[in-house]
Amino acid sequence: MGSRRVLILVVAVALAAITAFATYSYASSADERANKGAQLVDAFVVKKDIIKGFPGERALDEGFIGKEKMPRKFYPAKAVVDAQTLRGKVALAPMAAGLPVVDGAFVEPRVAQESFAQRIDKGMQAVTISVDDVRGVARLVVPGDHVNMMLTTNDNNSTQTQYMLQNLEVLAVGNSTALQPGEQAAPASAPAQAGVAQTASSGLLTFAVPAQEAAKIALASRVGEIYLTLVPPDFAPTPVPPVNRGNLFS
């Protein structure tokens, strides 16, 4: 790195620090001005971002929730007054730092549980196929990815491959599902190695599709071989003509 680039970097870091300090100072003075003359009351406030499903006892014991003064006019009508009632409960939804804790923000674990069916959009049905490493993109597909589905058939010594469905979202791989907002991934069983992509442990892939497409997938798995192609997030489906022995090299 040249001396000029180093100088630019140092100046940029210094300016960022000055800006952050000025912003903090302004916010602090603004809070003081806003609270001047206001009646302050104690409230339990989120100190650090809390994810969905986070245990209430951890939130209390690890400093995610603490007591703070706030103007009475901003005090929620259903504010939690006894923080110990959060023990044995879990966060119903993600909560950002600075929010007051209200009744219903933490619930019994059974209330917070979400069935897989609730992740399926109206009018869609979940269907699962089994693919091996070759047909399933070497198990590099993970929940939330999008894939295209091809079908290879061999009728009367005429082999043909064609795209059947495109841009299908993968809801689950095995029993692993796409993360919902506020959820955290389970810890990996083995640490990732540099330059080596993590692969799925199952060749079972689940999709949510309309009823007719679910029937097509079921039939396709019996009459031919299904191949998947992994596509980028910005993929746009386009018509692709079938490929057979007659046009394989054209």
pLDDT in tens, 195-215: 555 566 789 999 999 999 999
The enclosing domain of 52 has a CATH number of 3.90.1210.10
Domain end call among 113, 144, 162: 113
Residues 130 and 52 placed together within one structural domain of the fold? no
Contact (CB, 8 A) for 87 and 57:
yes
Residues 150 and 213 placed together within one structural domain of the fold? yes
d(CA 186, CA 201): 14
Residues 86 and 148 placed together within one structural domain of the fold? no
Residues 99 and 126 placed together within one structural domain of the fold? no
Residues 52 and 141 placed together within one structural domain of the fold? no
Residues 121 and 143 placed together within one structural domain of the fold? yes
Which runs of consecutive H residues, i.e. helices, occur in 115-245? 211-223
Closest CA to 225 of 142, 139, 129, 143: 129
Residues 162 and 202 placed together within one structural domain of the fold? yes
Per-residue pLDDT at 79 exceeds 50:
yes
pTM, whole model, 2 decimals?
0.55
The enclosing H or E element of 229 equals: strand 225-231
* Cα end-to-end span (Å), the chain: 51
Residues 127 and 85 placed together within one structural domain of the fold? no
In 3-state terms, what secondary structure has residue 47? coil
17 part of a folded domain: no
Domain count, the chain: 2
Per-residue pLDDT at 184 exceeds 80:
no
2 part of a folded domain: no
Residue with the larger pLDDT of the pair 213 and 112: 213
Cα separation values, 39 from 35, 36, 70, Å = 8, 9, 8
Instruction: Note down the domain range covering 91.
Output: 37-113
pLDDT per residue as tens digits for the range 120-145: 889 999 999 999 999 999 999 999 99
Q: Which residues does 66 contact at the CB level (< 8 Å), separation at least 6?
A: 44, 45, 47
What pLDDT is recorded for position 159? 93
DSSP state of 142: -
Per DSSP bridges, beta strands 40-46 and 65-71 are antiparallel
Per-residue pLDDT at 181 exceeds 70:
no
209 part of a folded domain: yes
Q: What is the mean pLDDT of the chain?
A: 82
DSSP state of 31: H
